[in-house]
Structure 1
Amino acid sequence: MAKGKNKSSEERSSKSRTSNGHKSKQHHIRKGRQETGASSSSSNSNNAFPTKLAMWDFDHCDPKRCSGKKLERLGLIKNLRVGQKFQGVVVSPNGKSIVCPNDKEIVETNGAAVVECSWARLDEIPFNKIGGKNERLLPYLVAANPVNYGRPWRLNCVEALAACFAIVGHLDWAELLLSNFSWGLTFLKINEELIELYQKCTDSESITKAQEEWLEKIEQEAKERKDKAQSGDIWMMGNVNRAGDDDEDEGVLDSDADSEEEEEEEEVEYDNLGNVISKKKYDALGNEIEEKEVKYDSLGNIIESEEEDDDDDEEEEEEEVQYDKLGNIIEKDDLTKNMESLTV
């Protein structure tokens, strides 16, 4: 019977995987890539970068967007295995103190390393099997990478390494590393004031104090902006003590607007030949003839004005026509003659 036929599938599967959960075949392929990459990067990094760079890559990120993998392709960084320790500064969420200028000698001598993983999958990382004796946290900084641009703390691998170099006093190393990315130098630009602040510190405690003061400052600024935004409508109202004057001014503006509307309504009209058609009427002597308002009753009949009615009544009274018994009109002259004859 051939060897291995009596073994169960569970035994085969358990033995076919390594300690970090990868299949042995994939592990050997990856191990070969790491070793070749390490040998090539060690030779290239001495010429390309002034100090050692390393990372533990857990394949959480998209290879096309991963800054750590790009540094590896460029031969600038060494890919470490799980269980392998690093003697330089290890930028890790598992650190107990913050990177400070006092770490400059460690960085210059033994370099810096990072953990290449997803922020959302930190609980999957075996921090007890990686790292070293110089594990460090990073202080408050803002990301400039395309994935987490503008978000504090969310730095990627190259930003973490550049931040470490800048804080310990090697801003030139940070620029050299970030120059491999189109957006890289933006990280130093948006964090310029913070980096200068951290460079003035000495130990981890002073860095922590500077960080706390900065966070209090931006929190206060955010509060002031919020208060201004809420009180913005009040300031737009102007001086409350002069509200009456403002109302008067508004009244003047309204009346001006009304007068403009009236002027628009009284615009001059023109005929087809361009001659002015005047709406006002004049008599032979050039005197303006006032147009009397015409009123209508509910049936649509014209209602004369009261003055005209009074004048008409007076005229009717003055020119009242009299009739005889047969209904004939009695002229005024005949009436006077008859009256005279009667008196005689």
Structure 2
Amino acid sequence: MGKGKNKTHEPKNGKPQRGANGHSSRQNHKRMEMKYDNSEMTKFPVKLAMWDFDHCDPKRCSGKKLERLGLIKSLRVGQKFQGVVVSPNGNGVVCPDDLEIVEQQGASVVECSWARLEEVPFNKIGGKHERLLPYLVAANQVNYGRPWRLNCVEALAACFAIVGRMDWASELLSHFSWGLGFLDLNRELLEIYQQCTDSNSVKKAEEEWLQKLEKENQERKSQSKDEDIWMMGNVNRRDNGAQSDESESEEDSDQSELESDKQSIEYDSLGNAIGIDNVKSRKMLSEGSEDEESESGEDEEPVSYDSLGNII
């Protein structure tokens, strides 16, 4: 065996050499192999790319999941993209006129946290077709229902949907359990954007939609002030007319009962309240007893006693 052949060179300090990204060269090599293998697993109709700044949890990051599926390519800082770049640094908004660019060059996104945008070197990434997204509502598990807070896959799907490729948007979102809900949540608004042409028309449609939302919000506020919230839609309550009639009849009945109660009360010589019915019954009883006594007196025969007091 020749000198130096098939010999592994270990660093003098015993630690593996690390690349510019802080990982060992062996790990970098394995990662590149994994990316190459993944790229052969699944093919998407157009190019997809992202700049990943590792701000998100890898288990919940939609961009990293697309990368594991081999659907998207990770770009380095300083590397540009020729297709549409969905970025907070964009000048115009995505519009149907961008269809040709998307079909020929694809789309890319910036994979970062909304709370750490100031850490992203936007001057070192992007391309000549940087775009903003118009008003849309997130459906992902982190920011569900919040406007503008779209994640990586939602941003790409929104781009495809606005330019008219709903099939690509559905295909991309189908890899997530909540994914297709994004299209359902924004269906009406996406259809409005699809009817536009250039960036200005999409921006105008967005402003009209926001004005509509503001108007509805003001109407709800004024309605809540004018109407008692407990009265709205309560089928258990009757109208005021029925209530007044019912209350009047109840008052009349109560008044008549009160008067009858007053009439049925008498007082004895000591000032105690006694009912008229009791007085009448007592009178009837006394009269009845007198009649009985008189009747019994008339019918009785004379009684004689002996010297010992016995009746004979």
Identify whether the pair has TM-score above 0.5, normalized to the shorter chain.
Answer: yes
Counterpart residue number, 1:44: 41
Distance 1:43 1:71 in 2: 13
TM superposition score normalised by structure 2? 0.70
By how many angstroms is 1:38 displaced? Answer: 4.0
By how many angstroms is 1:206 displaced? Answer: 1.0
1:202 counterpart = 2:163: no
Equivalent residue runs for 1:87-106 within 5 Å: 87-106=82-101
By how many angstroms is 1:255 displaced? Answer: 4.2
Counterpart residue number, 1:314: none
Distance 2:183 2:136 in 1: 10
Counterpart residue number, 2:292: none
Residues 38 and 79 in structure 1, CA contact (< 8 A), matched pair in contact too:
no
Counterpart residue number, 2:104: 109
Residues 45 and 52 in structure 1, CA contact (< 8 A), matched pair in contact too:
no
Counterpart residue number, 2:81: 86
- Residue type of the alignment partner of 1:62: D
Equivalent residue runs for 1:235-314 within 5 Å: 246=240, 250-257=243-250, 293-294=266-267, 302=272
In structure 2, do the counterparts of structure 1 residues 170 and 295 end up closer, same or farther at CA, with 3 Å as the change threshold?
farther
Distance 1:110 1:41 in 2: 21
In structure 2, do the counterparts of structure 1 residues 256 and 155 end up closer, same or farther at CA, with 3 Å as the change threshold?
same
- Residue type of the alignment partner of 1:254: S
By how many angstroms is 1:128 displaced? Answer: 1.3
Distance 1:264 1:79 in 2: 90
Counterpart residue number, 2:49: 54
Distance 2:242 2:59 in 1: 65
By how many angstroms is 1:164 displaced? Answer: 0.4
Counterpart residue number, 2:283: none
- Residue type of the alignment partner of 2:245: V
Residue from 65, 68, 71 that aligns with 1:73: 68
Distance 1:81 1:44 in 2: 22
Q: Which has the higher contact order (CA 8 A, sep 6+)?
A: 2
By how many angstroms is 1:29 displaced? Answer: 6.5
Distance 2:99 2:68 in 1: 27
| Matched residue count | 253
Distance 1:303 1:196 in 2: 85
By how many angstroms is 1:256 displaced? Answer: 3.8
> Over residues 241-282 of structure 1, what are the superposed CA-to-partner deviations in whole Å (9 max), with x where a residue is unaligned?
xxxx95x754431244457889999xxxxxxxxxxxxxxxxx
Kindly, what percent of the aligned residue pairs are identical? 60
Residue from 168, 172, 177 that aligns with 2:167: 172
By how many angstroms is 1:45 displaced? Answer: 4.0
By how many angstroms is 1:140 displaced? Answer: 0.5
> Over residues 125-182 of structure 1, what are the superposed CA-to-partner deviations in whole Å (9 max), with x where a residue is unaligned?
1111111111111011000011111111000000000000011111000000001111
Distance 1:64 1:103 in 2: 32
In structure 2, do the counterparts of structure 1 residues 173 and 17 end up closer, same or farther at CA, with 3 Å as the change threshold?
same
In structure 2, do the counterparts of structure 1 residues 303 and 32 end up closer, same or farther at CA, with 3 Å as the change threshold?
closer
By how many angstroms is 1:37 displaced? Answer: 4.6
1:154 counterpart = 2:149: yes
Distance 1:186 1:51 in 2: 23
Residues 37 and 75 in structure 1, CA contact (< 8 A), matched pair in contact too:
no
1:25 counterpart = 2:20: no
Distance 1:195 1:96 in 2: 20
> Over residues 275-320 of structure 1, what are the superposed CA-to-partner deviations in whole Å (9 max), with x where a residue is unaligned?
xxxxxxxxxxxxxxx96523585xxx64899xx9xxxxxxxxxxxx
Larger Rg: 1
For structure 2, which runs of at least 5 residues remain unmatched after alignment?
Answer: 1-10, 233-238, 280-312
SS of the residue corresponding to residue 233 of structure 1 reads coil
Residues 143 and 149 in structure 1, CA contact (< 8 A), matched pair in contact too:
yes
1:35 counterpart = 2:32: yes
Residues 84 and 129 in structure 1, CA contact (< 8 A), matched pair in contact too:
yes
Distance 2:63 2:274 in 1: 99
Distance 2:46 2:242 in 1: 73
SS of the residue corresponding to residue 229 of structure 1 reads helix
- Residue type of the alignment partner of 1:167: I
Equivalent residue runs for 1:178-193 within 5 Å: 178-193=173-188
